[in-house]
Structure 1
Amino acid sequence: MSGTASGIEGLALVIVTFNRSSYLRGLLESVAALDPAPERVVVVDNASTDDTASYLKALADTFPLPLTVCTLTENTGGSGGFAAGISAALQKNAQWLWLMDDDVVALPGAVAALGKWTGEYDCIHGRRFDEAGRPFFWQHRFIPLLGVHLPVRGNVFRDRPVFDTNVGCFEGMLISSDTVRKIGLPDPRFFINGDDEIYGWLASLENRVAYVNDFVLRKVRPQKQIDLGIRHLNDSSDLSRFCAMRNRGHTAGYLRAHGRFNRAGFAAGTALTAAKELLRLAAVERRFSGAGSLWRGWRESRAILKDTGWQPMPPLPNPPAATDPAAGQPAQSPE
């Protein structure tokens, strides 16, 4: 599977959205203007309660690209949404999956920029601008010893136009269907936070993961942030903080499954995770009222760690049925 003169063969764009129809409109408008464009767009409506459903229904007859809408019966988070969207795209014979949150827009030429790397890599991330048009900081490596990703300082593109990494981001990850079938769908148990990190690491166990020096997206949702020199910290939410700590249990499960779990190192990584979230509260959000969510998440992570029946997501030997993971029912589509 590789790039072609017209873009990326078998490319499906998978978008997960929840109650942000205004952002979704902007993203889909930018996608409709792409040339070359994806061959198909899959939108997962994560049980939105705003006007997302009516907007997508009205869009079905006018959107210039084949459009599949998966409407879930409950909010399954980013991880559950991408699991449903990837499943639906594979049912449409997608060969490449371009995974995207709803609060970005695609830049002209994005597909061609990514396509030139598809002959060498099976998991690719392009660069992003923030909402102010500045380069968005995303250059990390996952450290299995700690079970966390750490920032990489300096200009990672100084000597070559690609930075080999082993971590993922669902805000623009391009991944081949072959790799997806080997590592399975994103794990819905994460809900949010850490799901893409682990997914990128799993992909790196099969092939190299690339961060390339091509700007392909721009974030449109403003966020408070501070520059710490070695990394940036954005504002967050109590739900995200809870999941950051709770999902340490699931991260440990994947490390164990691949023989990479180190109890002492992982404990240090958990302490680093808690410290990062406390710093985010103090320096970015200027409050401490969210600290309790860290404690609750940590307690749940302990229960997950003790669960002897925990299993990783299974590989996919064949394209899975496009289902709603929340209800086990076929996803809805206008096609």
Structure 2
Amino acid sequence: MRAANQNPTSSDSSFDPSTATIVAVTFNRSGLLSRLLTSIGEMDPKPGHVVVIDNASSDDTTEVVESFRERIGTELIYRRLETNTGGSGGFSAGMQTAYELGSEWMWLMDDDVEVIPDGLAKMGRWSRRFRSIQGRRYDFDGSEFYWQYRIAARMGIPIPFAPAEFDESGFKEMNSGCFEGMFIHRDVVGRIGLPDPRFFIYWDDQVYGWLASRITTSVIVNEFVLRRTREIKQWDMGIRHMNASSDAYRYYIMRNRALIKQYYRSLGVYHPALFAAGTTLTFVKELIRLLVVERTVRGTRHLFRGLRDGRAIAQDRSWQPMPPLELSARPVA
């Protein structure tokens, strides 16, 4: 059932913050993680649990987490994985942990953000109306970060110029997702399953948000709840910007197009020509990123390597999407 277009009211105050769990994934960035955990300790209200997934860090992450256990003000669960599973595997493990804790809400974030003190209260105000919610964040320099909240679904790519302004409703419908701030209800997770660790990095949250939007009204709300704490090299395009990347990202950006293709096939929405156009545009965008932001062409081979390895994934006829966690889950509003 679609929700009416109106702002949250005082009736939304029934949200219980103790039913929410923050899931944070980290890898060899203990200094940034410390800032995130400090900000969580300053939240009012606080979530019922904080789950930290450590992707086999080799720095002092374990000691940093343990130093917060008695002072964060809520239950802290720490899981150190045996290997680095990437952001995708980290969030999959974190959401599984939160789900098994009985959490009603799971709030996902990387280690390079801080939570604004009343961020959970802001998200909670929308929790009675929606089940897949994205808040907004400030960038490192304090500017308002624009997130590409809509995708061209058949092409499987973000729409970079979807309107940034909000009307009086305070929300806009989205068909994507971002693990830097996704606030999602366990009923949705039960229906669509956990994030797919096979992505490792990139496209995983877009696909997960798209899956959520197929069964519930997903929205981005005009609430600033996070602040980035890491500066990233960017190309300022005026109304938008393009971040610098890495060879690993370039590889997975192209390889993981095959995983998106498999998801589309499994759901009967795959359109070969449109999806191929989306892959071509993605490749061109990464070339521009190399030339303009990073001023090099040396990473091009990783784009081609990703395309090559993706072919084996796309040709795997035994491939299956992530399974639901609740085969008989109740309908999601």
Normalising by structure 2, what TM-score?
0.92
Do 1:7 and 1:36's aligned partners in 2 also have CA atoms closer than 8 Å?
no
Q: Which amino acid in structure 2 is aligned with residue 239 of structure 1? A: A
Q: CA distance change for structure 1 residues 25 and 300 in 2, over 3 Å: closer, same or farther?
A: same
How far residue 8 of structure 1 moved from its aligned partner, in angstroms, is 3.3
CA distance in 1: counterparts of 2:80 and 2:91, whole angstroms? 12
From 305, 308, 315, the equivalent of 2:317 is: 308
CA distance in 2: counterparts of 1:304 and 1:174, whole angstroms? 30
Q: Which amino acid in structure 1 is aligned with residue 92 of structure 2? A: A
The higher-RCO structure (CA 8 Å, 6+ apart) is: 1
Does 2:52 match 1:80? no
Which residue of the partner structure matches residue 79 of structure 2?
Answer: 70
Which residue of the partner structure matches residue 294 of structure 1?
Answer: 303
Do 1:140 and 1:152's aligned partners in 2 also have CA atoms closer than 8 Å?
no
Moved more, 144-153 or 43-52: 144-153
Which residue of the partner structure matches residue 145 of structure 2?
Answer: 136
Do 1:110 and 1:215's aligned partners in 2 also have CA atoms closer than 8 Å?
yes
Q: Mapping of 1:179-258 within 5 angstroms?
A: 179-229=188-238, 231-258=240-267
Once the two structures are superposed, what CA deviation does each residue of 1:270-300 show, in whole Å capped at 9, x if it has no partner? 0011011111111111111111110000011
From 137, 156, 160, the equivalent of 2:169 is: 160
Secondary structure at the counterpart of residue 280 of structure 2: helix
Does 2:5 match 1:14? no
Q: CA distance change for structure 1 residues 140 and 19 in 2, over 3 Å: closer, same or farther?
A: same
Do 2:243 and 2:293's aligned partners in 1 also have CA atoms closer than 8 Å?
yes
Once the two structures are superposed, what CA deviation does each residue of 1:200-239 show, in whole Å capped at 9, x if it has no partner? 0000011011111010000010011123356421111110
CA distance in 1: counterparts of 2:85 and 2:12, whole angstroms? 32
Q: Mapping of 1:85-124 within 5 angstroms?
A: 85-124=94-133
How far residue 3 of structure 1 moved from its aligned partner, in angstroms, is 5.6
Does 2:158 match 1:149? yes
Moved more, 145-154 or 232-241: 145-154
Do 1:151 and 1:230's aligned partners in 2 also have CA atoms closer than 8 Å?
no
CA distance in 1: counterparts of 2:201 and 2:217, whole angstroms? 24
Normalising by structure 1, what TM-score?
0.91
Once the two structures are superposed, what CA deviation does each residue of 1:31-51 show, in whole Å capped at 9, x if it has no partner? 111001111100001100000
Q: Which amino acid in structure 2 is aligned with residue 149 of structure 1? A: P
How far residue 128 of structure 1 moved from its aligned partner, in angstroms, is 0.6
Q: Which amino acid in structure 2 is aligned with residue 39 of structure 1? A: G
Which residue of the partner structure matches residue 61 of structure 1?
Answer: 70
Secondary structure at the counterpart of residue 34 of structure 1: coil
CA distance in 1: counterparts of 2:89 and 2:126, whole angstroms? 28
Q: Mapping of 1:31-46 within 5 angstroms?
A: 31-46=40-55
CA distance in 2: counterparts of 1:54 and 1:246, whole angstroms? 35
CA distance in 1: counterparts of 2:262 and 2:131, whole angstroms? 24
Once the two structures are superposed, what CA deviation does each residue of 1:70-118 show, in whole Å capped at 9, x if it has no partner? 1100000011001111111111111100000000000121011111111
CA distance in 1: counterparts of 2:267 and 2:14, whole angstroms? 39
Do 1:254 and 1:312's aligned partners in 2 also have CA atoms closer than 8 Å?
yes
Gaps of 5+ in 2: 1-10, 328-333
Do 1:121 and 1:210's aligned partners in 2 also have CA atoms closer than 8 Å?
yes
CA distance in 1: counterparts of 2:153 and 2:312, whole angstroms? 21
Do 1:7 and 1:111's aligned partners in 2 also have CA atoms closer than 8 Å?
no
Gaps of 5+ in 1: 319-335
Once the two structures are superposed, what CA deviation does each residue of 1:105-149 show, in whole Å capped at 9, x if it has no partner? 001210111111111111111111001000011133122211112
CA distance in 1: counterparts of 2:142 and 2:223, whole angstroms? 14
From 29, 41, 48, the equivalent of 2:57 is: 48
Do 2:15 and 2:124's aligned partners in 1 also have CA atoms closer than 8 Å?
no
Which residue of the partner structure matches residue 179 of structure 2?
Answer: 170
CA distance in 2: counterparts of 1:66 and 1:55, whole angstroms? 15
How far residue 151 of structure 1 moved from its aligned partner, in angstroms, is 1.9
Q: Which amino acid in structure 1 is aligned with residue 318 of structure 2? A: G
% identical equivalent positions: 47
